[in-house]
Amino acid sequence: MRRFEGKRVIVTGGGKGIGKATVARFAAEGASVVLTGRDRGAAELAAREIADETGAAVYPFVADVSVKADDQATIQFALDKMQGIDVLVNNAGIYYEEPFEEISEEHWDQIMDIDLKGTFLMCQAVLPHFKEKKAGIIVNMSSTNGLAGEIGYAHYNAAKGGVVLLTKTLAIEFGPDNIRVNCVCPGYILTESTEAMDSDEFVADYIQNKIPLRRTGESEEVASVIAFLASDDASFVHGESILIDGGQLAD
């Protein structure tokens, strides 16, 4: 399947994890991709690997989504390199697990700035281009934590819940401009970051008690849903938040 031949995509936080798998998926289906991240080495390495594997044009760009000037520079870089933007994937995000009473103002602000404000700023930065061409697709990254509370993640839950409602609001406001906006809500996906955070015992217990499919998810299983939402297969899907959680929130 090559649904994105000739399409131009931006993926924030594309140097590793779910973002990298998403870049790989779009590239494999024919898109050109700008991949952003704060870590130059990781962004350049991921872009080179994916370009070698797929033959697609993959452009790394160092940018912090929480900084407005970086977001505007990302859009300008994408326009210069690809002469247009068809799809924006707001993937970049961080998470900490800590009891509510121990959450520092610094951690609260970091999560809000990257996970929620970064999404807002990137959407605002791309909108003039999408409105001008009367077309555009945005896929935001929320989480099961954006739809249900989880102890230890008050700041993350608040930010990801915000992403769900930001998505719905943009869908209502910019649907008339033919700008389609949706978000994905992954459950437990094994990435370098989750592996570093959780012990094997914690993961085994989590799977047994919380995930009906009795396994964690893979980054590629999120990437495929993001690609679906960005494709014409989802042409009437708008303002939606899709769970990718092995059934975790089904009960």
Report the catalytic residues.
Answer: 156
Residue in the block written with tokens 């898109």:
31
Cβ within 8 Å of residue 121, ≥6 positions away? 65, 66, 67, 68, 71
Closer CB to ligand NAD, residue 3 or residue 38?
Answer: 38
Closer CB to ligand NAD, residue 53 or residue 192?
Answer: 192
Q: Is there binding between residue 167 and ligand NAD (CB under 6 A)?
A: no
Q: Is there binding between residue 8 and ligand NAD (CB under 6 A)?
A: no
Q: How many residues interact with ligand NAD (rule CB under 6 A)? A: 31
| Span near ligand NAD by CB under 6 A; candidates 1-9, 10-18, 203-211, 235-243 | 10-18
Q: Which of 45, 57, 79, 94 binds ligand NAD (CB under 6 A)?
A: 94
C-alpha span between 145 and 160 (Å, rounded) = 6
Closer CB to ligand NAD, residue 174 or residue 188?
Answer: 188
Closer CB to ligand NAD, residue 143 or residue 177?
Answer: 143
Cβ atoms of residues 114 and 36 within 8 Å: no
| CB-count exposure of residue 196 (10 Å: 0-12, 13-18, 19+) | exposed
Q: Which of 4, 9, 10, 12 binds ligand NAD (CB under 6 A)?
A: 12
C-alpha span between 61 and 73 (Å, rounded) = 9
Closest CB 149 distance from ligand NAD, rounded Å = 14
**Residues 143-169 as b or e (16 or more Cβ within 10 Å = b):** bbbbbeeeeebbbbbbbbbbbbebbbe
Closer CB to ligand NAD, residue 49 or residue 177?
Answer: 49
- Please give the backbone phi and psi of residue 99, each rounded to the nearest 5 degrees, phi first: -60, 145
Q: Is there binding between residue 92 and ligand NAD (CB under 6 A)?
A: yes
Q: Is there binding between residue 136 and ligand NAD (CB under 6 A)?
A: no
Closest CB 184 distance from ligand NAD, rounded Å = 8
Q: Which of 95, 120, 130, 174 binds ligand NAD (CB under 6 A)?
A: 95
CA dihedral 7, 13, 15, 19 (to 10 degrees): -60
For the chain, helix (H) and strand (E) counts, in that order, are 9, 7
Q: Is there binding between residue 15 and ligand NAD (CB under 6 A)?
A: yes
Closer CB to ligand NAD, residue 131 or residue 168?
Answer: 168
Cβ atoms of residues 142 and 115 within 8 Å: no
Cβ atoms of residues 228 and 215 within 8 Å: no
Binding pattern for the stretch 211-250 against ligand NAD, x by CB under 6 A and - elsewhere: ----------------------------------------
Per CB under 6 A, residues contacting ligand NAD are: 12-13, 15-19, 36-39, 64-66, 91-95, 114-115, 118, 141, 143, 186, 188-189, 191-194
